[in-house]
Homo-oligomer: A and B are copies of this chain.
Amino acid sequence: MSNIYDTAYELEKSLREVDVFKSLAVAYNEMTADGEASSLFKEFRDIQVNLQQKQMTGGEITEEDITNAQAIAEKASTNTIIQKMMEKEQQLSKMMEEINGIITKPLQELYSSLDK
């Protein structure tokens, strides 16, 4: 039986080597190297984090918050460097969801037995 942590480290290594991660890293580094793109992206990310924190703590999300978030999301998405980076991010996110589905299948199977 292989140690589960060893296998997890193998998976970490595979992630670093997989094309979609390498493409994301390139796109992300291009973004951080560009002053305009990176300040736009930071603004976008900070607003997202702020909204998520409000949602998790039950804080009130105002109409202004939503208008603000939409405006900066629209602005960020017209920046081609950010656009490219987010495309790669979506591809990686899809892959990570699939991987998570594979890994947690034993738990899903176990828990589904309750309703049978």
Kindly provide the distance from the CB of A111 to the nearest chain B CB, expressed in whole angstroms: 8
Number of interface residues of A (CB under 8 A): 45
Kindly provide the distance from the CB of A85 to the nearest chain B CB, expressed in whole angstroms: 11
Q: Which one of B38, B103, B110, B111 contacts A8 once the chains associate, using CB atoms below 8 Å?
A: B103
- Which B residues touch A102, using CB under 8 A? 5, 8-9, 11-12
- Which B residues touch A29, using CB under 8 A? 113
In the bound complex, CA of A9 to CA of B100 (Å)? 10
* Contact B106–A15 (Cβ < 8 Å): yes
* Contact A7–B11 (Cβ < 8 Å): yes
* Contact B28–A14 (Cβ < 8 Å): no
* Contact A110–B4 (Cβ < 8 Å): no
* Contact A32–B99 (Cβ < 8 Å): no
* Contact A114–B38 (Cβ < 8 Å): yes
